[in-house]
DNA sequence: TTAACTGCAAATCTTTTGCACAATC
DNA sequence: GATTGTGCAAAAGATTTGCAGTTAA
């Protein structure tokens, strides 16, 4: 794989943020520094970065994919009120034990997605 | 809510199948018995049935949503080879304990999705 | 009768792709 | 110089929606 200015910018952007941005958000941000950056390129480069394991994709049903620079084991929550994605520190070993106990099938990966209200929204809701 | 012939057909179709069909598959099947059934109606009725809790939606990243008539607690696996969705009997109480231990946030629901090879495909792969 | 439901087609949203040009090695 | 990567626009796939007509209560 060759060096690419755009791919490097996109990687840095994802790594520097903890808000799990969408491709569109990444593109918009980076246009401040790379005005001709195209959304197609962002999608292509994000796919590449996920493939080579530099970032992670976070899929939420009915939402645009988010991207995450945190590679350590954790799960995600989607807040239905503010629509933000936050990381949940769910013990990897215990979750893994539950998943891997399934007979016959060959498990390669898994994702636990939680829906509800984030801490801030839960507070203001009450 | 009023009775609707189409909604009843769609509900029966989902309840009678265990293969987690897509809206398109449901529509195609039902056209044998209801030729003018439209895909838009199928989507609308499926959404209604999910809302009133008669069926469940199964979302797989990058795939069309599947629908499930089994309401008991279970999780799902997506086989990357045959692209089927199968039910996984993961102990609800243990999973729930892990999820609910997260502090501050208000959890309303969650879904554990597993990716890999189903039993049949794992066998033929080897 | 009237409000909900349907069929149809068009619109929407996210993501991918074809192609000509630009950048890297 | 050969290829990979990019920008742009068009295409693709899933789902929603507007509207005029139909059906249940």
Residue whose token pair is 């309840």: B15
Contact in structure between A43 and A10 (CB atoms under 8 Å): no
Closest residue by Cα to the C1' atom of nucleotide C15?
A43
Measured distance CA(A93)–CA(A2) in Å, rounded: 37
Q: Using the predicted structure, report yes or no on whether residue B88 has a pLDDT greater than 90.
A: yes
B115 and A108: CB-CB below 8 Å? yes
Measured distance CA(A91)–CA(B52) in Å, rounded: 33
Q: Using the predicted structure, report yes or no on whether residue B126 has a pLDDT greater than 80.
A: no
CA of A38 to C1' of D6 (A): 8
Measured distance CA(B59)–CA(B27) in Å, rounded: 18
Q: What is the pLDDT of residues B44-62, one digit of tens each?
A: 999 999 999 999 999 999 9
Q: What is the pLDDT of residues B20-46, one digit of tens each?
A: 999 999 999 999 999 999 999 999 999
**pLDDT score of B111:** 96
A112 and B108: CB-CB below 8 Å? no
Q: What is the pLDDT of residues A3-41, one digit of tens each?
A: 999 999 999 999 999 999 999 999 999 999 999 999 999
**pLDDT score of B100:** 93
What is the chain B residue with the closest CA to A106?
B117
Q: What is the pLDDT of residues B93-118, one digit of tens each?
A: 999 999 999 989 999 999 999 999 99
Query: Average pLDDT, stretch B77-101?
Result: 94
pTM: 0.94
Residue whose token pair is 């203001």: A124
**pLDDT score of B14:** 98
**pLDDT score of A58:** 98
Distance of CA B28 to the CA centre of its chain: 17
SS3 A57: strand
B113 and A117: CB-CB below 8 Å? no
């Amino acid at each position: 794989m060759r060096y690419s200015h755009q791919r490097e910018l996109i990687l840095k952007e994802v790594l520097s943020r903890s808000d799990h941005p969408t491709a569109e958000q990444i593109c918009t941000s980076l246009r401040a520094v790379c005005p001709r950056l195209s959304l197609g390129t962002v999608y292509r480069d994000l796919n590449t970065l996920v493939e080579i394991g530099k970032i992670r994709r976070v899929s939420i049903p009915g939402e645009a994919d988010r991207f995450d620079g945190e590679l350590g084991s954790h799960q995600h929550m989607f807040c239905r009120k503010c629509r933000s994605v936050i990381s949940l520190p769910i013990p990897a070993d215990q979750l893994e034990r539950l998943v891997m106990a399934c007979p016959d099938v060959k498990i390669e990966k898994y994702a636990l997605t939680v829906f509800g209200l984030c801490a801030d929204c839960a507070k203001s809701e009450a």
